[in-house]
Structure 1
Amino acid sequence: MTVADPPPELSQAAAELWLSIPRLSRYLRVCAQDLDTALRLYAWNSEIAGAAFTDTCHFEVALRNVYDRELIKRYPNWAIDPSSRLFHREQGHPRAREWQRKMNERSRRELEAARSGHGAHPAHGQVVASQMFGFWTKMTEKDRAAVFWNPMLSRAFPAKTSRSEIHDHVARVNRFRNRLAHNEPVFSSRTGLLERLDDVRHVFDLIAPSAAAWASTQSRVPELVAACPVPGLISRPSS
């Protein structure tokens, strides 16, 4: 098929078989039940989801590296040393300690899985890069503030930065990233494309402002928003 050839026709029955009736219906509803527009919207959604995913990946790299730089100041090789005490830290009242133990055990399991996936002698950077976004998100949980945020991670941010604010931003980005990975509609009210990318830019600018500015110039999201097949579909909620 050449560039000039029209795309092959796809019947609604075939589209439903491919996407499922509920998924296709979400696109048809915002396209006045026009199948051609709905399919163009679906293709556009995949493209802008990929662009937004790239933006979140740039941020994820910055976040994990800045956290790692703070952690290794007290716990060198924490990612590759099974005897590291980093994820044995506990402090506070009994309920907090119980939650810290559970979270620490989970973190140790995730690190062990990452180490085993890189052979007998994994590099520290390999293990750090293997951790899922959720691994870093959970390090700023409220009950972990005394053991991770206060003594270490807070130093990655400007003075007096709120742990809860950072955690909320990053947790929203984590959920957003998971939806993007599953090709969910970015125009869903549960997604909030522009708001979630605001979360990305806000935290990115706090930890690596020059890199955040560079990444912003590379983003394809603005041009894709402008090219949405349904004008006005992507917009900020009115205040």
Structure 2
Amino acid sequence: MNYDKLELFVSTSRIRKYLFACNNSKTRALELYKANILLSEAFYPILNNFEVLFRNAVNRELIKHFDDPKWIINEKDGFMSHPSLRKTDFYIKKSVISAEKRLNRKRRPLTPSAIMAEQEFGFWTSFFEAKPFGLLKASILNVFPFRPESTDRSAIRDILKEIREFRNRVYHNEPICFDDGHINLSDAINVRRNIYSLLRWIDYDLFKYVWYYDRLEKRINAVKRI
């Protein structure tokens, strides 16, 4: 497919970003668009595995904290309803209730694992925000037992925010290989590095497991050649 037809069917507003990043070269813009898709594709197994592993690590820690394998159900009227969470509009509680409603519509049982699977990535990262973190008495930091001593809640929150925003760009077919009209892979490289840091801080074997699926170097180099 040539550039003009791609612009017609994908949308001018989306494709013109690539044209701008390639100094109005339609040939390079087409190559960059394809390279961006392949780079995003290579991120999928890394992002997906990280999300699952991180979610389960958070869940295990919360089970310990509440001494309750069904905390995600039973804490709706406890931790999740604490007045200090009013400023976040009780996001955690509302996410659980929304998940339960979706499962009811599907006529599926309301088990902790089913409710967990319905949660978005932001649900799990929210436990590192100041108010939930304080209510949990910092126990959630135990998700990362091998983190550097200097790494505190805010540092982990910032890393998780960066990963979440990048993840959303990948999942919504947004550019991840340029910004401000210039080819730029720094975000992709930083997110990859930060994901591996967090995995090592949970358990080194998790890093090795996800690394097995990493095909990013080839895709990054392809963008650099454009």
Provide TM-score, normalisation by structure 2.
0.82
Find the partner of 1:210 among 205, 222, 225: 205
Moved more, 164-173 or 72-81: 72-81
Out of 6, 10, 28, which is 2:2 matched to?
10
State whether residues 96 and 119 of structure 2, in contact with CA within 8 Å, keep that contact through their aligned partners in structure 1: no
Tell me the secondary structure at the aligned position of residue 192 of structure 1.
Answer: helix
Q: Which residue, out of 171, 179, 198, partners 2:169?
A: 179
Residues 22, 115 of structure 1: CA spacing in aligned structure 2 closer, same or farther, 3 A cutoff? closer
Q: 1:83 to 1:171 in 2, by over 3 A?
A: closer
The offset of 1:203, in angstroms, is 1.2
Query: In structure 2, what is the equivalent of residue 22 of structure 1?
Result: 13
Judge which range, 207-216 or 77-86, deviates more. Answer: 77-86
1:153 aligns with 2:140: yes
Alignment partner, residue 132 of structure 2: 144
Closer, same or farther: CA 83–21 of 1 in aligned 2, 3 Å = closer
Do the aligned partners of residues 47 and 117 (structure 1) sit closer, same or farther apart at CA in structure 2, a change above 3 Å counting? farther
Comparing 115-124 with 133-142, greater Cα deviation is found at 115-124
1:107 paired with 2:99, answer no
2:179 alignment partner in structure 1: 189
C-alpha change, 1:97 and 1:79, in structure 2 (3 Å) is closer
* Structure with the greater alpha carbon radius of gyration: 1
Q: Are 1:140 and 1:148, in contact at CA under 8 Å, matched by a contact in 2?
A: no
Residue 122 of structure 1 corresponds to: 110
Any gaps of 5 or more consecutive residues in structure 2? Answer: 181-185
* Partners of 1:138 and 1:117 in 2: CA distance: 26
Gaps of 5+ in 1: 1-8, 91-95, 234-239
Aligned equivalents of 1:195, 1:77: Cα separation in 2: 36
Are 2:36 and 1:36 equivalent residues in the alignment?
no
> Deviations for 1:135-178, whole angstroms, at most 9, x for unmatched residues?
1111211122211361x312222275411111111111111101
Shift of 1:197: 1.6
> Which structure: greater helix fraction?
2
The separation in 1 between residues aligned to 2:198 and 2:3, in whole angstroms, is 44
Q: CA deviation at 1:117?
A: 5.4
The equivalent of 1:93 in structure 2 is: none
* SS of equivalent to 2:72: coil
Pairing partner for 1:219 from 194, 205, 214 = 214
TM-score by length of 1: 0.78
Answer whether contact 1:157 1:207 (CA < 8 A) is retained.
yes
